[in-house]
Every structure is written in C-alpha cells, then in structure tokens.
Amino acid sequence: MQSTKPKLVISTGAGMSAESGISTFRDAGGLWENHNVMEVASADGFARNPALVHEFYNARRRDLLKANPNPGHIGLRELEKYFDVYIITQNVDDLHERAGSSRVLHLHGELMKVRTIEEPTRIYTLDEEHLETTPESTDAQGRHLRPHIVFFQEAVPNIERAVDWAQQADIFVVIGTSMAVYPAASLLHYVRPGVPVYYIDPNPAPVASNVTVIRKGASEGVAELTHILCKNLQSE
C-alpha cells in the first residue's frame, strides 16, 4: 500500500557530520593530514600511489569508529514518524545509518565498504576487526580491493537515482553543504516548482529567495526544521 505521508527528501553534506567530529578537507585548508586532496582522493592519485590512498582511508575508518551520530542525525530519523524520509548524502560516513535512518543514498561512496577493482559491483562491508586494506588486499577469489569511494575524476553512479528522488519530493531540505560540490549541488534544480525548500547551514551560500534559510548547525537546525514541518502538518 502506498504511503500517504509527504515525501521529505534531504540532501546532506559535510556540515551534517561536523558536530560528530568528522572533519573535511575544506576545514584544513584543502589538506588532509598534510596531503593535497588530489593525492588521496582522486583516480590519478590512486593510480600513482595506491598504498598512500589505502592508508588514508584506513585512518578515516579509525576516526569514524570514534564518532557517533549527533542530535541532527537522530532528528532526521525521528522525522520518519511524520514523513517518508529519503536522505541523499555526500558524506562517506555511516552516521545516518547508525542513527537509524531507513533510506540513505550515498553519492560519494561509503567509507566502511570496499569493492574489487576488476568487478566494481562486488562490494564488501568492513567491520571493526577488519578495517585495514592495502594494495595487496584481495577478496576470496583473489580480486584486488579498493576503497568504495567515488574519487575525483570518476563518475557519480547514484546521481540519477538522487535526481529521481529530488523530482518526487514534496519537501526538499539541504543540510550542511556549501552548494559548491557538483553534481550534488545541482539537485535543487530538479525540485518541482512550488515545493517548499529549506537550507540549514550556519554559513549558508547564496540561494534563491524562495528557499527558507535556517542559519544554524545541523543539530539545532534539524530541531527548528522539525518544529516548522510539524506545525505546517498540523495546520493542513
């Protein structure tokens, strides 16, 4: 049976996880652990020095294990009581899933997964006991593994599905993004005319006048958004 709940589509960026202690290369002036981002997160960088890239993502996984979902993540899960919530995230962490959100689409890959180089559709989930990979790591059939990350210079496989979700939204929300990373930033263009759009960010980028801007971090912003949306639901 089709749900009668409004379809709430939420696009999240790095600011969503900032309060959980997940830093981004932009926070460090374009450097990650003194490496230029193109050295550790591009297809060319992986081809040049796969050992460096593997170790970089090993370190990111170790950091992720120390992090927990923040109240913003929890708040988005709670919105599922009132809405059909679909989350499109640029983040490679698993904090949305750990918070309990039901539908999460990762545009840029997933940190806790690896895939085979030879057959990209063969994807494996790592666990706390098996976090580390190297250029020599293989699956049971001997296929070499790489981070399940969409590197710079690679296509974004899930963008078409994300566009489809955006086109179906009854309410569209953007949280914690500079609106500068494409193709994720283009999703706003696919939202149907007249659909309410909200943008949560303490330092928001310029947006159209029809967008409701909430100048707060993820946790406070999601709390305010919830208040607004539930109030609107009650008045309908």
Sheet order of strands, 109-116 included = 123-125, 109-116, 145-149
How many CB atoms are closer than 10 A to CB 104?
Answer: 20
Which member of 54, 108, 144, 227 is catalytic?
108
Residues 6+ apart with CB under 8 A from 82: 5, 229, 230, 233
- Catalytic residue check, 35: no
Q: Angle formed by the axes of helices 71-78 and 218-235, to 10°?
A: 20
Residues 6+ apart with CB under 8 A from 95: 16, 17, 20, 22, 67, 68, 69, 70, 73
Q: Which residues are catalytic?
A: 108
